[in-house]
A and B are shown apart, each in its own frame.
Chain A
Amino acid sequence: DIQMTQSPSSLSASVGDRVTITCRASQGISNYLAWIQQKPGKAPKSLIYAASTLQSGVPSKFSGSGSGTDFTLTISSLQPEDFATYYCQQYNTYPLTFGGGTKVEIK
């Protein structure tokens, strides 16, 4: 199975900060990488697929990059509605696997 490792597992940031989350795959997955946002008690929401393509309706403050084994999710200017847990997920091969999540909290 492909292991997905996210860092950090949590971070504290202020409104307006630029935030970067990293995700590393245990083997190459080309660009078959998605980013998912989840707020407490809510359903997951898909943000990005193919490592860098925004899902429809997702604001451009979110961006993704990377290929192979190393990926990043960046939020350019953190807003109150962005405080959530973010997961990466590979869909290169079954079983689909998720990173452990990064919880973004208010400083």
Chain B
Amino acid sequence: EVQLLESGGGLLQPGGSLRLSCAASGFTFSSYAMSWVRQAPGKGLEWVSTISRSADTTHYADSVKGRFTISRDTSKNTLYLQMNSLRAEDTAVYYCAKKGPQAGLVHDYWGQGTLVTVSS
């Protein structure tokens, strides 16, 4: 059974930093691209970042480019999102998502999410 378990969320002040983790199990982690998608309170889904299965390619939304860094550790089956220079508008539930076996970046499994609140 595929499981994605996010952790690392919390309350912090604007300008702060945080690292989110997503522990993956139930599939061959190194074989699939992975993404972060976020959802601000009461709002819709927003794609944040994607990393290829080999970690040689990354993509970012313009809203986080230069502030967030996606990475993965195959030895730990874990996806990360390093978040720097946080802003109030980064407040959201952050979900990790696994790419499916289909062509194109289709996500087939999503984690339960971790809440990040940026407030003074």
Interface residues of A (CB under 8 A from B): 32, 34, 36, 38, 42-46, 49-50, 53, 55-56, 87, 89, 91-92, 94-101
Contact = CB atoms under 8 A, between A and B. Distances in A.
Nearest to B103: A50
Nearest to B97: A44
A92 B109 CA distance: 19
Main DSSP-derived SS at the A contact region: loop
Contact of A95 (B44, B59, B103): B59
B89 interface: no
9 contacts: A34-B106, A43-B113, A50-B103, A55-B108, A89-B47, A94-B59, A96-B50, A97-B47, A98-B46
B28 interface: no
B11 interface: no
Q: What's the interface size class on B, roughly?
A: 20 to 34
A36 B95 CA distance: 14
A56 B2 CA distance: 13
Contacts of B35: 96
Interface of B: 35, 37, 44-47, 50, 59, 61-62, 95, 97, 100, 102-113
4 closest residue pairs by CB, A with B: A96-B47, A49-B106, A91-B105, A98-B45
Contact of A49 (B50, B95, B100): B100
Contacts of B108: 46, 49, 55-56
Contact of A98 (B44, B62, B103, B105): B44
A46 B100 contact: yes
Contacts of B112: 42-43
A64 to B, nearest CB: 13
Contacts of A32: 104
